[in-house]
Chains A and B, each alone.
Chain A
Amino acid sequence: MKKLWLLIFLLISMLLISACNSDSKSASGSNESDSDTIKIAGIFSSSGGAAPLGEPGLETLKMIVKKQNEEGGINGKKIELVTYDDKSDQNEAVLAMKKAITQDKAVAIIGGTISGNALAMLPLSEQNKVPFISTASSRQIHQKEDGTAREWVFKMPQDDSHAVEKLLQYLKEKGHSKVAWLNVANSFGTGAHAEFKKSARKYGIEAVIEDEFEATVKDAKPVLTRVKKAKPQALIVWGTVQETSVVIKNIRELAIDLPVLGSHGIGSQQIFNLAGDSANGVIFPGGRLIVADQLSDTDPQKEILLNYKEEYEKEFKKPVSLFGAHPWDGFYILVKALEEKGTDRAAIRDYLENNTSEFVGLAGVFSLSPKNHNGLTPDSLVMIKIENGKWVLEE
């Protein structure tokens, strides 16, 4: 009996502490939010399977919010950033979103690291009429089935279709018309696969074999034996870092001597540790960020890219990643709207949609419109080659 009392006591005290905690948070929030703070929520997968993508995003957002506040905030108001970790889990993402909207009463929400989570979160933003700037890549996030834009959702990363089309352009230039397509068996992979099927013919490219591999793949040699038999001219491995590394290693081990192309999901330093020498020669469509120093000086993005890179690397003592760039774009696009329109959600939404054109961001040059809530083109990506632990701009 004593044990139970102890347990109940513990539970109640925990509840109280957490209640106090959230109270103090919301209290300070509500006192100030009317007068001198602007509340923004950031929801990222800083743990779980998508952590390598979510962490740089969260860090970047924290860093630039701090910087903006040090420079005087927005029209004299400080920005208050509330952050949540969705643990790469869809339910957690929905809960975090709900909390951000109803408890924190955030003016806008930035985040949703992976497409599955962003897709689960966006109905809430539509229902509650809160601008949601997604940092996940699926096209479904900003476009409805019928191709029109979702009212309250904006999306910063390139569409899968942009990356796939860039890749197809490259293949066409190189004259590889028969390719093997392998994608990871999750929404990142299957989404791109659908885009590939849709546009491959347009570029005169045919897949001689199409298959999937698990995100937890240990040995992809079995499926690669089939790929080898199909005799493609190039091999496309569409996955994120961990699983792509395994597949690339297996390709080298089987001595399949073909050009290997990856997805924009492998543009992280991790690939060097995980795939080692096997990664050499892999080419993928990626953002300009990691090859910023190799860009020509006329490139409009070069300056901000180099600045961001320097700041991030100084602050966190680790190399910059493409996934950190999307919250950066989202935040600065939002800042413009906040400067012009204050904290009225509908006004912010309208401003974002109508007044963001030729915005030079890290991922590319954005031109949003009521029809297009992404505003990027395949040209926002460049082809990048991995060479001995370095990114090299492939002309």
Chain B
Amino acid sequence: MEVHSQVIQLLFSGLTIGSIYALIAIGFVIIYNVTGVLNLAQGEFAMFGALISISLINAGLPLWAAVIFSMLIVSVIGALFERTAIHPARKSSVPTLIIITIGCSIAFRGIAILIWGTQPQSLQPFTDNTPIKFLNAVLLPQSIWSIGIAILILFAMIYFFNKTFVGKALTACVVNPFAARLMGINPEKMSLLAISASAGLGALAGIVTSPISGASYDMGMMLGLKAFVAAVVGGLTNAPAAIAGAFVIGILESFTEGLWSSGAKDVVSFSMLLLILFIKPEGLFAKASGKRV
């Protein structure tokens, strides 16, 4: 395999992994900005999305319906999570809130074992998965799906936060909840909206991932952590920045693995996290000051 085709191959892999991280990272960022909570249960939404869609397809639903339904179901789970766990504790300290999300993620994992057991499951690729050759490197249609969806969501985010009323209302809650309330925006409703939407997005991430690496009850943990790193590297306060950060981490990991050693992959991406924290804590792609989201 020649060097340039290897580089292209690594780029493809990096983009695929990056797009998965991105989809989870967006949810992470939205929740953090609207509610101030570092939601460590975000990866579990992806797990639910993946497993629910697999069950729906096994029950005979077509793929598109399974995707929509599982996103809806996970959004409802997200809403329940907000109402029962985050909302009652919204005035607690930050560590308490973090631990509450951890508690929920543990409970979610337990529920998943109860329903689906511990065996890993898999999902057929969305479309025919014949590899596409490109300069001696191969790109899988499933990867295109995954990257495409991430980019689509990126633009949807930009549009949503800048052009729609609800998006602007969300932004307003972040910038100044008190003023927002005066303007007739209900921050509590916004918190509910933000968390259930993030849950739906997380579900989508899980569904896209499962044809690539399978789905099991414990897939959420590492996905959530990596997405978290991606969000911090890109910029915790800004959804497009977090998506860019996710792609950076994905590509970085794939090049480390391809040119050096797979053992070093995690070291490199978490070192990147530390480096960013020390040098540019607001994130690579976020403006140092100014409004968030």
Contacts and interface: CB of A to CB of B under 8 A. Distances in A.
Are A and B direct contacts in the complex by CB distance below 8 Å?
A: yes
Interface of A: 46-49, 51-52, 55, 185, 211-214, 216-223, 225-226, 228-229, 241-242, 245-246, 253-255, 270, 273-274, 276
B257 A222 contact: yes
Nearest to B253: A222
A17 to B, nearest CB: 20
Nearest to A182: B262
Contacts of B219: 216
Is chain A's interface secondary structure helix, strand, loop, or mixed overall?
Answer: helix
A218 B262 contact: no
B122 A274 contact: yes
Report, as a range, how many residues of chain B touch the other chain: 35 or more
B79 to A, nearest CB: 26
Contact of B261 (A55, A211, A220, A241): A211
Interface string B239-267: 00000000000000111111101110110
Contacts of B258: 221-223, 225-226
Give the 9 A-B residue pairs with the shortest CB-CB distance, closest first: A222-B258, A51-B118, A222-B257, A218-B213, A228-B1, A222-B254, A221-B13, A225-B6, A229-B1
A326 B19 CA distance: 42
Given A212-B262, A213-B262, 8 more contacts: A216-B222, A217-B213, A218-B212, A222-B14, A222-B255, A226-B6, A254-B131, A274-B120
B119 A52 contact: yes
Is chain B's interface secondary structure helix, strand, loop, or mixed overall?
Answer: helix
Contact of A219 (B17, B120, B218, B266): B17
18 contacts: A47-B113, A49-B218, A52-B118, A52-B119, A185-B263, A212-B261, A216-B219, A216-B222, A217-B213, A219-B213, A221-B9, A222-B13, A222-B255, A222-B258, A223-B257, A242-B214, A245-B122, A253-B140
B42 interface: no
Contacts of B214: 242, 245-246, 274
Contacts, number: 96
Contacts of B213: 217-219, 246
B228 to A, nearest CB: 15
Contacts of B14: 222
B12 A221 contact: yes
A244 to B, nearest CB: 11
Contacts of A274: 120, 122, 214
B9 A254 contact: yes
Contacts of B10: 221-222, 225
A273 B14 CA distance: 26
B55 interface: no
Interface of B: 1, 6, 9-10, 12-14, 16-17, 20, 113, 117-122, 131, 138, 140, 209, 212-214, 216, 218-219, 222, 253-259, 261-263, 265-266
A246 B214 CA distance: 8
A273 B120 CA distance: 9
Nearest to B216: A242
B262 A214 contact: yes
Contacts of B212: 218-219, 246
Contacts of B1: 225, 228-229
Contacts of A276: 122
Contacts of B257: 222-223
A218 B20 contact: yes
A255 B6 contact: no
A278 to B, nearest CB: 10
Nearest to A252: B131
A220 B262 CA distance: 9
A254 B138 contact: yes
Nearest to B113: A47
A219 B1 CA distance: 18
A218 B62 CA distance: 25
Contacts of A216: 219, 222
B4 to A, nearest CB: 11
B140 to A, nearest CB: 6
Given A217-B213, A222-B257, A274-B122, A185 B262 contact: yes
B92 to A, nearest CB: 16
Given A47-B113, A225-B6, A225-B10, A218 B17 contact: yes
A185 B258 CA distance: 16
A190 to B, nearest CB: 10
A51 B119 contact: yes
B107 to A, nearest CB: 15
